[in-house]
Every structure is written in C-alpha cells, then in structure tokens.
Structure 1
Amino acid sequence: MTKTLTLGYSPCPNDTFIFDALVHRRIPLGDLDFQERLEDVETLNALALAGTLDMTKISYHALGHLRRDYALLRSGGALGRGCGPLVVAREAGEMSALRGQTIAIPGRLTTANLLLQLYGEGFDQVRIMPFDRIMEAVARGEVAAGVIIHESRFTYQGLGLHKILDLGQWWEETTGRPIPLGGILIKRSLGAALIREVDEALRRSVEFAFAHPQLSRPYIKAHAQELADTVIDSHIGLYVNPFSLDLGEEGLAAVTTLLARAEERGLIPPCELPLFGY
C-alpha cells in the first residue's frame, strides 16, 4: 500500500537540488510517495505550526516551537560555516546604530531573526517581508536595515548596500559551532519505523544529487529562473554539504546550542522530548 506524505520545501536551489531525486523517484522509494509543496520559508514555518504538512523544511527557530509535534530528520538540512544571514544597510555603520530602528526580516520564525535577537537586545522593531524584497526595501529607505538570506548574500552589493554584520560569523566566533539554518521535520505521529524509512530515503536523495548534479538542474532552474548558473552553483555549494547528508555529532551540537540559547532568552518554549523520532 502506497504511503503518500505531504512534503514542503522552498524553491531555492539548495532545496530543489536536495529533493529532486526524492520527488521525481530517481531513487528506490518502495511504497513511499511524496506530494510536494514549494513555499517560502516563513510560509513553511506557518504551515508546520498549523500541522498541515507531514514533512517539511523549516527554520531552526521554528523548530523551537514545533518539537512536541514534529521530530527532526538527520538528513536534508542546511547547516554549515560561512553561510549565515547578513545585516545590510544603505550606509556603512555599526549595529549599535540600528537599535530601535526598523529592520526587515524574512520571517518572525526564521533562524535569521533568531540570530538577530540572540545578538543583542534592542533589535525587535522588525518588519516581515519576503526575503527577495528585503534588499530593495533597504535600498529605497523603507527600512533602516535588512537581514538577508539565500542568494541575496551574493547580490546585495549590486544594489549599493553595505554589510553591517555577518550574523553567521558572529555565531561561529562566539560558539565555535556551525550555523544551523534550516532542517527537515516530520510528524512524530507517523511512528519511528516510517520516520527512519523517510530519513534514509532523504539521505539517498542527497547522495544522488551529489553524484548526478546535472540531472537536477532543469528542476532547479524551473524554480529559480532569475538566477544565473554561477549564482545557482554558489548557492548550492554554500548550503548543501556533508551536514546535509547527516547532521552528525557536530551538527547536533550546533542545533542544541542554538535551542538552548533561545530557551535561556525566553525566545522559544522548553521541551524535554528528544530531537529525533527514532
């Protein structure tokens, strides 16, 4: 009997690269089947909070609010070094000048916003907007600064913007850990056996993507048509790495450190359940 799971992820190149083999059955899946839904990260966070999806990419910030209903998978996530969100503004300056100012963020439950709040107090005057609109809003002076993610890291200078802070670099320097950006969650109610089966299938999907990178390119470009091949390659190279195959001990330590710091600041509720579902 076919087991069909609803699956959410973003149209960004790192996600379409990772999930291409899974949703197009380029790998053996047995009786598993996936019904995909592509949305921006904050929409995915909201869908997970509503319990809409069986399995979804989320921000690690959102994970802090979802741990009772969803378990974390070991594969498929975005975690690494040198890939964190950037705070940008029209003029060069210091973060202290932005306290009390309006800062655009790509979503309240994004890891980008969590890192901004963990950096210090006084940065809670935020305006939520789609990640691909933030740079233009900053350039037009609609907001004092913006926290940018994804391919915006590679293109902000083209709009004459200045980097105020690399939140990822700050995180790495203060914790010694890689940056947990986004992970893959699955409903705990599906049971340990199915969760393990899905996690193993997802790992095979990542392995296939690494082994046959050109096969996923049409799917990637269909959802990132405005991006040049060089930007797509840079994006995938930055966000898809060995941690995407398996979090491992180092990745798990990064995630638990982030959640612990957020709990200490009262930014997420405490939870005693184990992160993984098997």
Structure 2
Amino acid sequence: MRIAYSPCPNDTFVFHAWAHGLIPGAPKLDVTYADIDITNRLATEAGAPNILKISYAALPWVLTDYALLPCGGALGRGCGPLVLTSSETNDPSVLSGQRVAVPSERSTAYLLFRLWAARHVPGGVGEIVVLPFHEIMPAVRDGKVDAGLVIHEARFTYPTYGLTMLADLGQWWETDTELPIPLGAIIAHRSLDHTAIANWIRQSVEYAWAHPEASREYVLCHAQELSPQVAQAHIDLYVNEYTANLGEKGYEAVSTLLYRASEEGLVPMVDLAKLR
C-alpha cells in the first residue's frame, strides 16, 4: 500500500510502527516522504498514493476521490502557523503590499493567513512566494522576502534566525472560534477499506505512545538536522488526542475552517457531509 507523508517528526512518529511492520495484519507500506506542498499536489494527480497526508485546506479539491480519515492527522491548540519578519514591529499593517513567503498555496497555514490578512492588513499583502518550509526563515533573514509564514518546528527555532513573530495565527483562530486549529489531514482513496486503515493508523499511534523510544532513530533520521529536544517538542505539540480521534470538536473545527474559507471565496464550496 502506497502512502505519502512528510519527514516531519509528528508524521514519522505516528507512522513508525506501521512503516516498520509492527502492526499485526496491516499491509506493508511503500512510503514517499514529501513536503506538504508536494503531497497536496500529488493528491490531485493520476496514480497518486493510496493514502496521503495533506493540508486540511486542500480537502475541497480531493474529496471526490479521497475520504478524510478520523485519525493520524494534526489538529491542536497552541500549534498554529506564525507570521515572521526581520523587524521588531507587531503592527500587521507593515505587510501591506509586501512579499510574503508561504509553504504552499493550498496549505492550512496559507488559508488561515488569508483569512487573518483580510481583517488585519489594509489593502492586502503583495506578492506571495511559495518555498519549502525549511527555506522560509533564511529567506526572511536574508531579505529575499519581507515576511514568512512558517509551520512545524519553526515555532521553536525562529529566534535563532533573528526573526520576530508578528502574529500567531493559531492563537488568533482559537480566540475567534474557540476551536482547535486543523492543520494536516490523512486521506485515503475512496476505493479502500477506510475502517481498516483507520484502525491500523490508530494502532500505530498507540504503539508510538506506548513505546516512544522505538521511533527515535527513525524520527531523527528524517528530521532535517533537528536536535532531539526540538523533535520531541514538535511531537508533543502536534501528536495529541485529535491524532487518535478527530471527535466532534475536530470535525467542527474542520467544517468551520472550510465553511469560512468558502464564504470568502478562497476554496470551492464543500459538501460538509463528505467529511465523515
């Protein structure tokens, strides 16, 4: 069974057990490691993997062929994307007409940024530059862009680049909606047995929690030179109760994000019944 997910610590932690044949009865996985911008695109192409980790913001384009699984993804609190600059200002109006680097035009991070900017950046931002997430902070630091939208472990490492947090979009979202922030979704092709796949993923999550040391080498091997401490902080933040089960709050968060985005004309209208 073919699967695509990122090399980030939360994904490798979650899927370690399944990818290493530790889940009884689960089929062998053929893993593709790819940045979220790549998996978002892969999900819309012929011959895509059976299972993918994508942005929740990309769901409207793939729900015809893929189903959202109720586990394995990333939602949470205190884990949203950050808007970073090289200046010390906390005034969002400085982004008016400026160049901003983002990790994907169909990422949840970018969708939240557009919803936030519509309220806080007079006249809107200028050029949007798509970069792999690990290239964004150096680009801001080096003056290649005026600001950057960052995700993942950049929450913990941006001060080492001399950057300033202009906005925490997760905090904004949580204050505005009282809901967790939906970041990464796990989807499976509609031709497959979703109940079985969800069960294998949950077993992989539970194995990871029960044996946290077992995945350490695998996680660090793919963690793009992160220290063990930063990799663990990343896992602690993004692997939580919603990873094991979206639950009612999780589904409400996803529905709210996609509904608001469609109302703003940022994504196609979604039949919310297709989310379950």
State the TM-score, normalized to the length of structure 2.
0.94
Secondary structure, aligned partner of 1:164: strand
1:145 paired residue number: 147
Matches of 1:95 and 1:64, distance apart in 2? 29
* Residues 60-81 of structure 1, C-alpha deviations (whole Å, 9 max, x = no match): 1111221111110001010000
Q: Give the 3-state SS of the residue equivalent to 2:267 in structure 1.
A: coil
Q: Does 1:189 align with 2:191?
A: yes
**2:86 is aligned with 1:90:** yes
Work out the percentage of aligned pairs sharing the same amino acid. Answer: 48
Aligned to 2:28: 33
- Which aligned runs of 4 or more in structure 1 are off by greater than 6 angstroms? none
Residue 273 of structure 1 deviates from its aligned partner by 6.2
TM-score (norm 1): 0.94
Does the 8 A contact of 1:44 with 1:58 survive in 2? Answer: yes
Deviation string for 1:183-242 (max 9, x for gaps)?
A: 10011132xxx1110011101100100000100111111111511111011000000001
CA distance in 2, matches of 1:267, 1:189: 29
Distance in 2 between residues matched to 1:26 and 1:238, nearest whole Å: 24
Partner of 1:180, secondary structure, is strand
Deviation sequence 1:134-183 (CA, Å, 0-9, x none): 00000011111000111111011111100000011000011111000001
Contact conserved, 2:255 with 2:272, CA < 8 A, in 1? no
Q: 1:141 to 1:53 in 2, by over 3 A?
A: same
Aligned residues: 269
Superposed counterparts of 1:169-188, under 5 Å? 169-188=171-190
**Whole-angstrom CA distance in 2 between matches of 1:218 and 1:156:** 25
Report the counterpart of residue 201 of structure 1 in structure 2.
200
Residue 29 of structure 1, CA deviation: 2.4
- Aligned-residue CA RMSD (Å): 1.3
The 2-side partners of 1:13 and 1:168 are apart by: 20
CA distance in 2, matches of 1:61, 1:46: 12
Residue of 68, 71, 79 corresponding to 2:64: 68
**Unaligned ranges ≥5, structure 1:** none
Query: How far does the alpha carbon of each residue in 1:89-127 deviate from its partner, in whole angstroms, 9 at most, with x for none?
Result: 000221111022110001111111000111133136210
